[in-house]
């Protein structure tokens, strides 16, 4: 369990940590000289059960609130420290608000310096603390009167800490590794070390990571967790990683960066978040307002744009898009805190919903509905709600990535919510919406056939264009496969068609076909150029006509330069079958002589047969693979 202290300056946070652990968390010379905490400090308390409780001691001065925010993100519990003589002070209230905004619901209050006050003042201070806690996640937190100097109350605090550590469930470590860096330093010998709380996943020596946002590769040489040498650190651990990399030096590493699994390196400068403003603010959040954003251990300036409203009033919650001054690392579910433009006041906080939102349409009703579904706290509920909203399906890989989940987990979630998974599991559809997709594809194919009766069939790409590219290619292919499987669409070598659909020749094409058909049915059908000469037409006109006629199934293109009438090609296929020996081999010479095509044209026909899988060329000749009736497209001419 990782515990962060919180509270006003000079209320005894660091002294309390020292009394509990024996470690002075003030490590900087300036902290020693000034007698105040400036930056984050760390200490560890071994437990009777063999575990370790880690402490992140934060500064209480308002000038160093940025450092405080870097330390409390990702901890398991909080120890709010309030001096009995002062009672709750300004930073007490601000720290408490931050803990609440970050969703830290496990905590206790240490009422310090009780050795300085009489019993009535202690009782009054307890009442003041209870009043301050009212309405927050820590409203029911236990309160322990303590004195770090005399030791009074310390055993009770230790007892609560050990009990809380046992009660904190282990974090799920199934996602990719992420650690928010809050400190970096160089040690003689090992070299560069970074520390932070592991937000997700697990890491071991030898693992390769990425320093993000810079995108620099790193390798883990060694690691510690809870101040112990370990083989592996996992989600919830306070970890120190010794890292190396060809481009990494101490100067390249700053607080707020992340060490992540390579697949999770995806910096963003635009976030859609669910934000709650604190009540009691002088004004709300106006569109375009500049704010200070704190997420993970990072702090940056951002511009806030409430979505679906002109501004967000104090005490209200809503969706907001944040445009950051510099790229940061964030994933869905990351908690965040906002401070005002001058970084003097905490104004609100919330959770990242979409770390990579679309650049346009951010306030459209359908987008707001999508965010509302995506923001649901339970994973299955969120995915089920998204699937119900998406006529084009939910792309499951982006859902998995922004939530840092394995695809296998998301696929199982999709099945649990009754989604129809298509595109080899890439998209999830509500069953009713999937039927709408099938009906839409069927209607598009029907419109295409009616608009071009001379076409016998249509390709997948043409069908996609007819649908206005509204469906992803994988979705369209799955829809077609489903329609073919239940007999509502036929798949032919020439493309897709409705059952019973046949190409209809235009009158002009029909007249010209009557002139062409005998020529292409000759013993040696002429090449396209020769055919154009004999008809007295330009080759481009003849080629265009032959392409149209090919769609009707009347003829087959066997090479770039030659078409053959279907009837003639069928007879050649039967001849090849007849000439095939009992051993299954067809010899080129026998086919050339039997067909009277001549060598070059015989080779063209045989190569066509190879391409369609009727024959297969091997060293000893050609092996017959199908019967002659299966060698040609099955489309017929109608009308």
Task: Give average pLDDT by consecutive 10-residue segment, the chain, 639 residues.
Answer: 92 92 81 76 87 88 84 90 94 93 94 94 95 95 95 95 88 90 92 94 96 96 92 93 93 94 96 95 93 94 94 95 96 95 92 94 94 94 95 93 94 93 92 94 86 72 83 90 91 78 67 80 84 88 80 78 85 90 87 90 91 87 82 47
In a domain, 367, yes or no: no
Domain count, the chain: 6
Q: Are residues 150 and 196 in the same domain?
A: no
Q: Distance between CA atoms of 422 and 87, rounded to whole angstroms? A: 61
**pTM of the entire structure?**
0.78
Strand order in the sheet with 585-586: 585-586, 621-624, 615-618
Q: Are residues 260 and 275 in the same domain?
A: no
In a domain, 192, yes or no: yes
Supply the pLDDT for residue 493: 65
CATH assignment at residue 191: 2.40.30.10
Supply the pLDDT for residue 636: 38
CATH assignment at residue 475: 1.10.10
Supply the pLDDT for residue 245: 93
Supply the pLDDT for residue 639: 30
- Residue 638 DSSP one-character state: B
> Which of 478, 497, 516 is the last residue before a domain boundary?
497
> Which of 117, 142, 167 is the last residue before a domain boundary?
167
Tell me the torsion sign for CA atoms 338, 350, 395, 462. Answer: negative
Domain hosting residue 477, numbered range: 433-497
> Which of 109, 137, 167 is the last residue before a domain boundary?
167
Closest CA to 176 of 261, 290, 94: 261
Q: Are residues 573 and 492 in the same domain?
A: no
Q: Distance between CA atoms of 109 and 112, rounded to whole angstroms? A: 9
CATH assignment at residue 150: 3.40.50.300
CA atoms within 13 Å, Cβ hemisphere of 577: 14
Q: Distance between CA atoms of 631 and 612, rounded to whole angstroms? A: 7
Q: Are strands 2-6 and 52-57 parallel, antiparallel or unpaired?
A: parallel
Question: Which whole-number Å values give the CA distances from 362 to 239, 290, 300, 318, 320, in the listed order?
Answer: 38, 18, 22, 13, 9
Q: Distance between CA atoms of 300 and 554, rounded to whole angstroms? A: 68
Q: Are residues 8 and 144 in the same domain?
A: yes
Residues with Cβ < 8 Å from 448, sequence gap 6 or more? 455, 458, 462, 463, 466
In a domain, 363, yes or no: no
Closest CA to 194 of 208, 209, 180: 180
Q: Are residues 454 and 410 in the same domain?
A: no
Q: Are residues 29 and 161 in the same domain?
A: yes
Q: Are residues 137 and 108 in the same domain?
A: yes
Q: Are residues 420 and 439 in the same domain?
A: no
Supply the pLDDT for residue 171: 83
- Residue 24 DSSP one-character state: -
Supply the pLDDT for residue 430: 94
Supply the pLDDT for residue 86: 92
In a domain, 231, yes or no: yes
Q: Are residues 159 and 14 in the same domain?
A: yes
Q: Distance between CA atoms of 623 and 634, rounded to whole angstroms? A: 22
In a domain, 639, yes or no: no
């Amino acid at each position: 369990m990782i515990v962060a202290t919180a509270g006003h300056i000079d209320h005894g946070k660091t002294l309390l940590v020292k009394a509990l652990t024996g470690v002075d968390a003030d490590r900087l010379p300036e902290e020693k000289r000034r007698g105040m905490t400036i930056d984050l400090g760390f200490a560890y308390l071994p437990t009777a059960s063999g575990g370790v409780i880690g402490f992140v001691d934060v500064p209480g001065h308002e000038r160093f609130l940025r450092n405080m925010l870097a330390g409390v993100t990702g901890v398991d519990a909080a120890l709010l420290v309030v001096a009995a003589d002062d009672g709750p002070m300004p930073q007490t209230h601000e720290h408490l608000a931050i803990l609440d905004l970050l969703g830290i619901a496990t905590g206790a209050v240490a009422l310090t310096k009780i050795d300085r006050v009489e019993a009535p003042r202690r009782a009054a201070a307890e009442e003041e603390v209870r009043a301050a806690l009212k309405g927050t996640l820590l409203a029911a937190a236990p309160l322990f009167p303590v004195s770090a100097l005399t030791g009074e109350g310390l055993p009770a605090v230790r007892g609560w800490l050990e009990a809380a550590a046992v009660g904190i469930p282990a974090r799920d470590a199934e996602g990719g590794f992420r650690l928010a860096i809050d400190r970096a330093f160089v040690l003689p010998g090992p070299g560069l070390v970074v520390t932070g709380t592991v937000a997700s996943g697990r890491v071991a020596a030898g693992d390769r990571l990425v320093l993000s946002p810079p995108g620099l590769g790193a390798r883990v040489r060694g690691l510690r967790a809870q101040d112990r040498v370990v083989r592996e650190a996992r989600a919830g651990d306070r970890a120190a990683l010794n890292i190396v990399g060809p481009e990494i030096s101490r100067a390249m590493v700053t607080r707020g960066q992340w060490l992540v699994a390579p697949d999770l390196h995806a910096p963003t400068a635009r976030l859609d978040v669910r934000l709650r403003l604190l009540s009691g603010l002088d004004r709300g959040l106006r569109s375009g307002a500049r704010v200070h954003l704190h997420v993970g251990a990072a702090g940056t300036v951002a511009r806030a744009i409430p979505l679906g409203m002109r501004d967000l009033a104090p005490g209200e919650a809503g969706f907001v898009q944040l445009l950051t001054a510099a790229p940061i690392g964030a994933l869905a579910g990351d908690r965040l805190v906002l401070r005002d433009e001058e970084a003097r006041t905490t104004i609100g906080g919330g959770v990242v919903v979409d770390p990579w939102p679309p650049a346009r349409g951010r306030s459209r009703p359908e987008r707001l509905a999508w965010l509302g579904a995506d923001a649901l706290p339970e994973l299955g509920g969120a995915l089920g709600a998204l699937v119900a909203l998406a006529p084009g399906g939910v792309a499951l890989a982006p859902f998995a990535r922004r939530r840092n989940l394995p695809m296998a987990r998301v696929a199982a979630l999709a099945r649990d919510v009754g989604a129809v998974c298509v595109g080899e599991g890439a998209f999830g559809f509500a069953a009713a919406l999937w039927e709408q997709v099938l009906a839409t594809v069927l209607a598009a194919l029907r419109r295409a056939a009616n608009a071009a009766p001379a076409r016998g069939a249509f390709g997948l790409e043409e069908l996609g264009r007819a649908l206005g590219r509204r469906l992803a290619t994988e979705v369209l292919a799955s829809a077609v496969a489903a329609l073919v499987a239940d007999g509502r669409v036929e798949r032919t070598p020439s493309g897709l068609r409705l059952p019973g659909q046949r190409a209809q020749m235009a009158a002009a094409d029909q007249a010209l076909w009557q002139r062409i058909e005998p020529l292409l049915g000759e013993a040696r059908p002429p090449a396209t150029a020769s055919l154009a000469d004999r008809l007295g037409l330009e080759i481009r006109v003849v080629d265009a006509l032959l392409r149209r006629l090919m769609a009707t199934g009347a003829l087959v293109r066997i090479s770039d330069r030659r078409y053959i009438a279907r009837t003639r090609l069928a007879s050649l296929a039967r001849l090849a079958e007849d000439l095939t020996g009992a051993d299954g081999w067809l010899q080129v010479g026998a086919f050339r002589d039997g067909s009277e095509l001549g060598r070059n044209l015989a080779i063209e026909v045989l190569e066509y047969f190879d391409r369609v899988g009727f024959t297969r060329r091997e060293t000893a000749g050609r092996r017959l693979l199908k019967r002659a009736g299966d060698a040609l497209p099955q489309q017929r001419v109608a009308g």
